[in-house]
Chain A
């Protein structure tokens, strides 16, 4: 773990460390906690490394690198209500604390005198590195390299081969900045040597060795995978309004818009973002947007608009964060499920899916574009701050998800009067005197058998149509007629049943583990990895637990989920929100009420330890809210 004030580069050093481990064949799971602040407030980055898959973080750490006093002792000394109490309490027994020797800190007064403390003269080392290249007097300008010093020092402590890291550092500083890269390698090396020479690092109980299979896996963040899925799916337009933690995805796409010919538009607000994307979808391109709760709250009318006009999109990635209102802008919560399920007035069809990890994020976002066009409706992919920001190894990204399906298209040649005739397309049903069986022209909202009307787009000869957010007839003109209203509602809502049938079961839900378990955990989204890691630990103790991961939220696989739950011995629903929104949704969809709910709503994701303790509690018949141990 590395902690320091925002702007001090803890991300860079944690990510270099993570990458060096990944390249050496180890598996990595790294996550960041940061404030909604540009510079100065406390942030910290955890990196967990293992030979086997790691999908969650632990409460405690073996090594802490502290760039400032607050990382050690918290902010109680300068805030009326302390935000946190530092990280010393989160060190494993015998763990090591590397800190800047300029920090006014007395280990004997720390409350953890048994830990191993390694005061390192950060600035001196930076100065030395600069002296080696004749820039000794510029040390203060390079203060930001403290993060690199911390990185070098921690590598020495866990006896990790330095060369693996040097290469990664150089990779971070390419082109013009390669000189700075070399400087960072020097600083890291000097810190590495300093710890080796001045401390008994050999006695440190935690070591890190390159993995058995030194093949490079992909080490990615969730928002990068989301962006890549959009590129692969043929997304042509991404609109966005800056908001944490969704912005990164759009900025990543914008960075690559020239090479991939994907247009990224920064809008004046989220209302504009969604409506631009709806306009572009109707115009025939694959369009998408990304936002977080507060932005989504503005977008909702656009979702109703897209749905009633049967727009073939857009795809919306909703990165949940702590609510309500502005809430906790940079913190974790699964608090927008019910909102995403019912975002706007009236009854209308849309798809909501909630991938549980990076692999599923790729699959669901890629598929979302196909679903949007095939069923002509908007699709919401629920992600969250944690999924957006975790930096983790992926064995392989299933790029086999490459089948593009643009749905039924009107091309201008094959249209016949028979095709336009829907089950209700009788004379009386159509207010404009059409529908008498003699139709020759294209009808955008033709009442077809399956409710899908082949779509045209502006510019297509003979495919002209109208579209309105009012209730409408097959022409797309406004109607308030009873028969047409009923027919159109059935046409639109009926599409949900088609979607439910078409989406593969493994993209709808997964029952992990044996069918006969003493406890069935129900969870969704980014807690997936934490639940799986926890079950692994508990299974080793002989506990029989399985895990129902809900993924497709609308249309909801009510029958299958209901059957699993009704056959379960005991069920607990674990969520990172206050009320248990999935449990509420399941009750509404299946009639099965999950009374045992474990909720965490403190803005921090479950650690593996917290999850294990919660499950143990559930096994013992005790379910209560979980609060991160901040003391």
Chain B
């Protein structure tokens, strides 16, 4: 099964044989395809990719991908992936989970992961509902909204994940749309290539429980002009990339622009909101333990340490 590098890898090489049990028409399919297309685009060796997921429908994603896959705990995917990344910096680490997983139960890790700026990618399947438990409101559903599966309107407001990511310190912040896998794949590929913590919030439909934000709604089928409720930032001349990362003023200006865009509603911007090349957590580690730069922790010989100097100091 192992694939040697010179062979050109195709999307097929990243598909596992497992039967998929998502509902027909689920937005997860688009994200799955987007990930596989991005991996193929980047020609990443499946043995050098580690996927980590939380719990929920989205949590099953790694099982459908031909790469190392860890389906972890609800809300804890970021700490697990962080531990994985720290142990082996030679691998590509991708974490993913739902919006409840990342912005609700895992909100603390979402924020603190941004602070670290570890070099990995985090994809959030954002469909406004808790699908696997049959459609309760997720942390991104706005106040007053009610899907067909909810007994009452949402009593509290939704959060703005893009603005939160800006505040937390993610250095690549983007939004994609699950039913546009090609664009989604481009964004994911850029996120993987980005050096630092990358968040991709993927707007996703839940055909079973979310009857508000459907494919038709995103496409604007109900609007008189039948115009999509999404637009691509790059197509409107928006550039969220910080050109001079040593300039704090430019960073603040780009962050402010990203936050302003993140509050736009109908149409919703997709694409890259913010991007900056800033020192990563790994860079800071290498300053303290320089040997880790060339040798990942997992390859280091930690088994022949001489502790006698420590014991001598205790005499």
Give A residues with C-beta under 8 Å from B. Answer: 22-23, 216-220, 224, 228, 231-232, 234-237, 239, 256-258, 260-263, 265, 267-269, 271-273, 275-287, 301-302, 305, 309, 397, 399, 404, 412, 432, 441, 457-470, 475-478
Contacts and interface: CB of A to CB of B under 8 A. Distances in A.
B8 interface: no
Nearest to A304: B73
B112 interface: yes
A470 B53 CA distance: 12
A46 to B, nearest CB: 20
Contacts of A271: 76, 79
A284 B87 contact: yes
B173 interface: no
Given A235-B302, A279-B80, A280-B84, 7 more contacts: A236-B298, A267-B79, A272-B79, A301-B76, A404-B303, A457-B88, A466-B62
A282 B87 CA distance: 9
B86 A237 contact: yes
B73 A285 contact: no
Contacts of B288: 257-258
Contact of A234 (B55, B67, B303): B303
B72 interface: yes
Contacts of A441: 1
Given A267-B79, A280-B86, A302 B73 contact: yes
A478 B63 contact: yes
B302 A464 contact: no
B109 interface: yes
Interface residues of B, number: 55
Contact of B81 (A22, A279, A469): A279
B71 A467 contact: yes
A228 B311 contact: yes
A409 B67 CA distance: 19
Interface stretch (B44-52, B187-195, B232-240, B266-274): B44-52
Given A458-B50, A477-B63, A219 B314 contact: yes
A22 to B, nearest CB: 8
A550 B69 CA distance: 40
B247 interface: no
Given A261-B300, A279-B79, A464 B68 contact: yes
Interface string B20-61: 000000000000000000000000001111101001000010
Interface string B90-109: 11000000000000000011
Contacts of B52: 279
Contacts of B108: 268-269, 272
B289 interface: yes
Contacts of B73: 275, 301-302, 305, 469
B18 A232 contact: no
B69 A463 contact: no
A440 to B, nearest CB: 8
B200 to A, nearest CB: 20
Contact of A476 (B69, B111, B289, B303): B69
Given A228-B311, A278-B80, A466-B71, A283 B63 contact: no
Nearest to A460: B47
B7 interface: no
Contacts of A260: 302, 305
Nearest to B111: A268
B79 A276 contact: yes
Ranked nearest first, the 8 interchain pairs of A and B with the lowest CB-CB distance are A279-B83, A276-B83, A283-B87, A468-B71, A279-B80, A275-B79, A280-B83, A268-B112
A578 to B, nearest CB: 32
A404 B302 CA distance: 11
B311 A283 contact: no
Given A23-B315, A256-B310, A257-B288, A272 B112 contact: yes
A516 B83 CA distance: 52
B17 A432 contact: yes
B83 A219 contact: no
B86 A459 contact: no
A478 B67 CA distance: 16
Contacts of A309: 70
B307 A231 contact: yes
A588 B108 CA distance: 39
Residue among A234, A236, A265, A466 with the most chain B CB within 10 A?
A466
B164 interface: no
Nearest to A264: B288
A276 B55 contact: no
A14 to B, nearest CB: 16
B171 interface: no
Contacts of A231: 305, 307, 310
A224 B87 contact: no
A275 B76 contact: yes
